A and B are shown apart, each in its own frame.
Chain A
Amino acid sequence: MSKLNFAIRRLFQMVATLWVIATLLFVMFRAMPGDPTTYFLSEGMPPEARERLIAQYGLDEPTHVQYIEFLRSLVTLELGISFHSGRDVIDIIWLYLPNTLVLMFSAIIFAYVIGIPLGVLAAWKRGEGTEKGAVILALVQRSFPEFWVGLVVLGIFGAWLDVIPMSGMTSGDHRPESFLAMITSLDFIWHLLAPAAVFGFYLMGLPLLLMRNNMLEVLAEDFVDVCRAKGLSERKVMFKHAARNALLPIVTAAAIAIGYAVGGAILVETVFSWPGLGREMVRAVLRRDYPVAQGTFMLLATTVVFMNFVADLIYSWLDPRVTYE
């Protein structure tokens, strides 16, 4: 089976998965206890206004019509209007998504730039204290809840040493005119530092352990002996020859990790009051703002499914030995 065929089949599978998730979401929101209308209709509202609002949100239609309308709205990205603020859901997503992406990519870069060399080092110094230290570090990174690490960082650096801001993305008096101007400002980077470091610390365990395991496998191969026999320094053997060959699974793992990290940022965003998409989803869920909750959740799920798809494609592209039957 050719790679193109594989890609096409995988694409169809992705669309089917998204359709199932969307259907689950639709069923779940209708099965929710309590009538959705009670959350945005006030008691003393005149009956005509009440009916107009219900019709506006399409809640008076039969279920199957609502379902088709729901799928159509997902495909056309007309995700409806927020019960809470009355704004278009897609505008809300565009407002918060970039903030999450900046935070997530800073964290991922931090995690992989430090995690990968540490993994190489752990494999190189196999059986020594360095390896043990690296493995324990990875264990700690995965075991301490990231929001707790955030609380501790805020306590030490925010309150005690007073070198980082306690919350938010920009200082109150700082009003940059564009998104680009904002993220390139020093004030923003100062705010970004702690959340990105905490999230990156949490994400680092995966590349570290994965790189160590891959390295151990690669180091058992013959070409490594050839490199050593050529008289290359151990450092060159490790970082130039072995590490390059061990990187492949990391690339695909990183793609999948990016997919999950967009939603995984929720807790870090909550601790640092970072105005991101995950935190907005939680707020929408808590105030029963269906359209926003549905829209943001669907976006987070799409990212996961899409990045899984990308990971499969990258894998087949980077490793020509992979075949598909």
Chain B
Amino acid sequence: MSQREGTRELFENLEGYDELDDVDSRRRAIRLWSETFSEQWEILKEDRLVVFGAVTITLFSLIAIFAPFLAPHPPTERMWDGGMIMQWENPLWYGGEGGYLLGTTAEGYDIFSQLIFGSRPALIVGLSAAVLCAGIGTIVALVAGYYGGRVDDILMRIVDVAYGLPLLPSVILLVAMLGPSFLNVILAVVLLQWRASARVIRSQVLSIRERPYVQAAKVTGASDWRIISRHIAPNILPLTFLYGAFAIATGILTEAGVSFIGLGDPSQVSWGTMLQTAHTYNAMYHQTWWWFIPPGICIALVVISGFLIGRGYEEVTNPALRGNN
């Protein structure tokens, strides 16, 4: 439909041809993308679980952004009562003093504030890992799948090597060497996790490359870039989102795991480092479950949301799955 309109306008304004073509193609591109996204959202919002996932991630993002306003205390400030640090204080609903919603840690930090601020590293690592993993994987897949031959061979051998690396040990090694900061955790996760999306999306590109409309574009003399960006990329986009959503989960779980081992960013409080200190001070033994239960629930909620959004995109990519549930 958009094409016919564009043609009619073209004939009406022959003078400003070049200029119009430019504007029109941009407008068309925007319309195409917004149509694609609204179509996908129509399918996605049918699934209540996907909506739950999207709402949860949005909620945690808001908490992360407004953390300084929501948290009653700075996460790395010790609580004092006169001359004494308030260690192992019970929550206020459990007979604790000082009005701490979830009590204080063995080192005298407010657990609730740490929980609020812990959403920041989790979401930053999760979301940037998702964008970078899916982005790099997709670009590699497009190049390997479209050009084939030697380029494909080399890229896929690199993917094979990446598959030979055990995830957590490699991330631990990399973070230990580059220094414990969550930028390095992101880097390590991305270096290892682009492999999955690259491999799967490439096989999809291989099949799309042979479709008649791509062949037709080739015959009409479209450039490689045009074919890749206009004819192939839009068709694999849902797969990119699918792997992006799953990468949120891997990113957050890996960050938590690495922090739990003791290689977390020392300047930041994350859910993983909270669990690490709880483990070090044997909070399980002291039965202070308000210290170590909430961070785990938060991690799981964000991770589950990632999986649920990914599952929704699986239905977008594979129409056969639709309507079964």
Kindly supply a per-residue 1/0 record for chain A positions 257-292, scoring 1 wherever the CB is within 8 Å of any chain B CB and 0 otherwise. 001101110110011000000100110011000000
Looking at A13, A155, A159, A166, the one whose CB has the most chain B CB atoms below 10 A away is: A155
Q: Are B168 and A160 in contact (CB under 8 A)?
A: no
Q: Are A293 and B275 in contact (CB under 8 A)?
A: no
Contacts of A127 in B (CB 8 A): 324
Q: Are B307 and A285 in contact (CB under 8 A)?
A: no
Q: Are A160 and B165 in contact (CB under 8 A)?
A: no
Q: Are B293 and A281 in contact (CB under 8 A)?
A: no
Q: Which of A137-192 contact B (CB under 8 A)?
A: 139-140, 142-145, 147-149, 151-152, 154-155, 158-160, 166
Contacts of A264 in B (CB 8 A): 166-168
Q: Which of B156-172 contact A (CB under 8 A)?
A: 157, 160-161, 163-170, 172
Contact stretch, chosen from B92-100, B195-203, B204-212, B254-262? B254-262
Task: State how many residues of chain A have any CB contact under 8 Å with chain B.
Answer: 51
Does A308 count as interface, using CB distance less than 8 angstroms? yes
Q: Are B300 and A301 in contact (CB under 8 A)?
A: no
B122 to nearest A CB, angstroms?
Answer: 11
Residue of A32, A143, A300 touching B169 (CB-CB under 8 A): A300
Contacts of B260 in A (CB 8 A): 145, 147, 267, 270
B218 to nearest A CB, angstroms?
Answer: 25
Q: Given A145-B257, A304-B164, A308-B164 in contact, is the A155-B295 Cβ separation under 8 Å?
A: no
Q: Are A159 and B284 in contact (CB under 8 A)?
A: yes
Closest to B262 in A: A286
Kindly supply a per-residue 1/0 record for chain A positions 231-250, scoring 1 wherever the CB is within 8 Å of any chain B CB and 0 otherwise. 00000000000000000000
Q: Are A13 and B292 in contact (CB under 8 A)?
A: no
Contact stretch, chosen from A14-22, A40-48, A59-67? A14-22
Residue of A151, A267, A305 touching B261 (CB-CB under 8 A): A267
Please report the C-alpha to C-alpha distance between residue A83 and residue B279 in the assembled complex, in whole angstroms.
Answer: 28
B132 to nearest A CB, angstroms?
Answer: 20
Which B residues lie at the A interface, using CB under 8 A? Answer: 157, 160-161, 163-170, 172-174, 176-177, 179, 249, 253, 256-257, 260-263, 275, 278-279, 282-287, 289, 292-293, 295-296, 299-300, 303-304, 307, 324
8 more contacts with CB within 8 A, not counting A17-B160, A143-B249, A301-B169, are A28-B173, A145-B257, A148-B256, A266-B257, A282-B172, A286-B262, A293-B173, A304-B166
